[in-house]
A and B are shown apart, each in its own frame.
Chain A
């Protein structure tokens, strides 16, 4: 059973890592910590189950529609909850606006979908419950694909470099003529796609459940804090580590004590390295 436990830890960790990357992509473009990241993950599972399981669409069509739906929610987040508060970032109003939107999404899903978890359809047919089960491999594969995809996007494409430019210094990027608002919206759409992918790939593991949003918001934030804000590689490594550690804690101490163990380690790490394990200390010009 040990390989299954490790594999399931890596799978859950991959989901946390992807939600962490979702946080980071939104943060890089706007300097806003958007608490809709977990809800995008939840929507990925719910929309996938709705398109494929309920409407009976082919898996690939359901997959594309799910990502498109989550991208739209990402853009809506930028327009509704982020853009209006960008001028007063120092007041941290985005905490309220993004949390409010997250709650709105969660309640809307509960009312229109279900308050009970619903099944997510099998995509490839590998459902033995053991190490070969696709519910473990799909999130890991989605995480790997995202890492490769983001590397290619940021290093090999013009738009990717433009994303990096506004993440680095949006005033300078604007001065160079980059369309900052459009790039920010594109970043939020990209975050929607990554969050949706996390939810879709983990649908069989987490089920299509409206309450997953809050859980993913919570555990997805841990890799961001551990890996360093805006650091995708840090988020991926921390997310995977978190998943494995959580499963190990479930096995050794069990139940609610596992959560205590996870957050104890989280607090200790932040006390030792406040900038995160992979983040550089913030420099301030004086």
Chain B
């Protein structure tokens, strides 16, 4: 083989370039930002939770970056508005993984989108945290990368039925939902949770959210002997009609169930403020006011620190603090595992027992990726919202 001067020059230049790139690669990895994908339904009809989570996420990101980042690396949020549409969420997840090359993904924040994105994020072995409720979204065997930071539907059913049976000491329940897929499946799972506690479900059914008058349905529940009504819907119209009819009938029955019963829209639609009483919704221990009117110490300190910086009045506290926790959990994984290696980050999460957050103390193991302990789920008084949090329902010490 003949060696020419030109060949030698080109080869030398190539070698020098390759050597330079190789040498500088670790330095680049150590200084590049930590990119966190945020699959957010920031617009559209189901945008309220994502807007709340977003406030916490940006607050935590700014706090970490202002303190110098993690090992000198700044956090960079890669936000994509999915509009609550599973198709858009899938496209955004794929784009985050292959083009934006994120190091971890937070979200999506509703189960419909998450059902579509979880397999895709799982195939990429991308560390993924989300706050979605559907049980099947968490399966450490199929999706070892996916971790839940909110309760599962089973945990919610257990919390609500446990409150009705063991704290209110009632035995006969009506379980109703709207006619959506969510309403139908939750009525079934909630009824099963009551049956597990040897309580009797004397009435169960679906009600169209636009049905103008609920007197016939409520009469059927009363005639069946219901001592409490469990409600599974996010429709303020349906919820407020149930409350108004309950008052008109003079039926002093407690309503228990979905957190939507505590939303501000319900307050606008009820005929009288008293109609909102004796209504208990699913809540969270760390985001509930105790008898002293205060949140648990570390959460109260956080809330005091964000006064004037984050608006709590038009959102829910748990969305905001869960958003803060999500960023902190990812940041801790990077810090403690020494970088953004996905397997090492996942391994770090698998060893948290517990990880002390604002919203909850999360526990994850290789076999259990549902982070929220059952004991963190409580019931709250629906009409007691103040700065995004609620009072504990009667019966808790």
Contact = CB atoms under 8 A, between A and B. Distances in A.
Interface stretch (A24-32, A60-68, A113-121): A113-121
Interface residues on B, range: 20 to 34
B170 interface: no
B215 A5 contact: yes
B293 interface: no
A130 interface: yes
B219 interface: yes
A212 B45 contact: no
B135 interface: no
B208 A256 contact: yes
Contacts of B247: 129
B179 A256 contact: yes
Nearest to A12: B212
Given A119-B268, A127-B271, A209-B237, A247 B216 contact: yes
Interface in B255-288: 265, 268-269, 271
B271 A4 contact: no
Interface in B288-308: none
Contacts of A110: 45
A4 B212 contact: no
B213 A255 contact: no
B114 interface: no
B335 interface: no
B210 interface: yes
Contacts of A117: 235-237, 265, 269
Q: Among the interface residues B207, B237, B265, which one has the most CB atoms of the partner chain A within 10 A?
A: B237
A259 B207 CA distance: 10
Contacts of B269: 117-119, 207
Nearest to B236: A116
Contact of A1 (B208, B215, B244, B271): B215
A254 interface: yes
A8 B205 contact: no
A100 B240 CA distance: 32
Contacts of A108: none
B45 A115 contact: yes
Given A116-B265, A207-B237, A212 B211 contact: no
A72 B205 CA distance: 41
Contacts of B244: 129
A151 B215 CA distance: 35
B216 A250 contact: yes
A205 interface: yes
A164 interface: no
Contacts of B179: 256
B268 A118 contact: yes
A78 B371 CA distance: 58
Given A128-B248, A251-B220, 8 more contacts: A8-B215, A12-B212, A129-B271, A205-B213, A207-B237, A255-B207, A255-B217, A259-B208
Interface of A: 1, 4-5, 8, 11-12, 110, 115-119, 127-130, 202, 205-207, 209, 211-212, 215, 247, 250-251, 254-256, 259
Interface of B: 45, 176, 179, 205-213, 215-217, 219-220, 235-237, 244-245, 247-249, 265, 268-269, 271
**What are the nearest 5 A-B pairs in CB distance?**
A129-B248, A251-B216, A117-B237, A255-B205, A250-B216
